[in-house]
Amino acid sequence: MRARYALVELDTLRPHEHTQPALLGKTIDAIRTDGFVRRPILVESRHLVILDGHHRYEALRRLGCKRTPAYLVDYEDEAIVLTTWPGATVDRVTKAEVVDRALRGDLFPPKTTRHIISIEFEDVRVALDELR
């Protein structure tokens, strides 16, 4: 599987899940306190759908940032496996549904989808000032 690292404009990204308020607050506080983003979000490269990192995306947006570090991937790659989290409102979801929901703005509840990827992505250290 190939992934391309880039700084991506936040307004071009499409979430497919809502965020949890408590977790979002903790994420905002952690990024603000640290002054850096260390973990890029995972983005489907064709439609710019956020696959992983909804809370980081929303935290950066609320912190006044314009960009985010991201790994762009081919969602059709078989190395990306889609499941659901325990307690999700649905038992099964397809990649096509994820993209469709994101394009229509009909977001899943928080922590519905879980993407499992067989490679590890490197963390980065991008200062908030570089993202504004």
Catalytic residues: 17
Backbone dihedral angles phi then psi of residue 66, each to the nearest 5 degrees: -110, -20
DSSP state of 6: E
Hey, is 113 helix, strand or coil? strand
Count of C-beta atoms within a 10 Å radius of residue 119: 11
Q: Distance between CA 84 and CA 51 in Å, rounded? A: 12
Please answer whether residues 37 and 124 qualify as being in contact, where contact means their C-beta atoms are separated by less than 8 angstroms: yes
SS3 content of the chain, % helix, strand, coil (to 5): 30, 30, 40
Instruction: Note the residue count of the chain.
Output: 132
